[in-house]
Structures are given as C-alpha cells and as structure tokens.
C-alpha cells in the first residue's frame, strides 16, 4: 500500500495552552448523530495544528459569531457569513480537552479542541 503524505500532515496536535495560529483550512460537513451542519477549522502554527468543529445550531451560533468577530469580520443580523473569509486569518486560541458522553455508545470520550478565540 502506498500512502501519500500531504502538506501539514507531518505536524502533531498542538500542546495545551495559548497558541498563536493561522486558519489554514475549512471543511464542511454534517454531524454523524443528528445531521447538524458544521464547518471544521484547522488552526495551525509551526509547532502543530488543532481542528475544531463549529456547529450551525442555536447553541453553536455564539461560538461561530465570536470566531468571525475575533478575526475582524462583523456579524450582523440578516447577514450571511462566508467561512472562506476565515482562511489566512491569525488569532490566539486556547487549546484544551473536553469530555462528553458519546450518544451512540454511552462511553465517555475526551477530545482536544480550541477555545477562547482572541485576536493576535
């Protein structure tokens, strides 16, 4: 089997704590459990990367609006935000872990994620 290594795949997951990063990739999808639309942001620097999903739901909108506003893109009522505007933007994030119960298996899962988005 041949396995192609794409740019950035040699990097490790960022360590916990504050990290200055650049948004290098955006992927769109829907959640596996409830079919909620999301976009996944890859935050990256020379030390590594972390990916974070932003869910387009009433509970997820404050985080989405906060991300756009932290990189200088104002979010107004009635406006549509374009995730492509985020590419190349720099900001400071806090990397940490979050635990939750998997709805399918009822097992506790822990994942690393980005929180506390701040303008660089």
- What per-residue confidence (pLDDT) applies to 96? 86
Q: Which CATH class is domain 17-119?
A: mainly beta
- What per-residue confidence (pLDDT) applies to 9? 66
Residues (pLDDT < 70) of the chain are 6-9, 117-120
- What per-residue confidence (pLDDT) applies to 118? 61
Overall pTM > 0.95? no
Cβ(18)–Cβ(94) under 8 Å? yes
46-77 residue pLDDT tens: 999 999 999 999 999 999 999 999 999 998 88
Is the Cα dihedral 18, 41, 65, 81 positive or negative?
A: positive
Structure tokens belonging to residue 24: 């290098």
Domain-wise residue ranges, the chain: 17-119
- What per-residue confidence (pLDDT) applies to 57? 93
């Amino acid at each position: 089997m041949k396995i192609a290594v794409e740019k950035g795949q040699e990097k490790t997951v960022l360590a916990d704590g504050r990290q200055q990063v650049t948004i290098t990739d955006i992927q769109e999808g829907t959640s596996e459990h409830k079919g909620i639309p999301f976009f996944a942001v890859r935050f990256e620097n020379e030390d590594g990367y972390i990916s974070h999903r932003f869910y387009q739901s009433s509970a997820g909108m404050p985080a989405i609006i906060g991300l756009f506003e932290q990189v200088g893109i104002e979010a107004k009522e009635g406006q549509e935000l374009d995730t492509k505007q985020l590419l190349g933007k720099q900001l400071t994030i806090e990397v940490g872990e979050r635990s939750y119960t998997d709805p399918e298996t009822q097992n506790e899962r822990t994942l690393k994620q980005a929180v506390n988005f701040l303008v660089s």
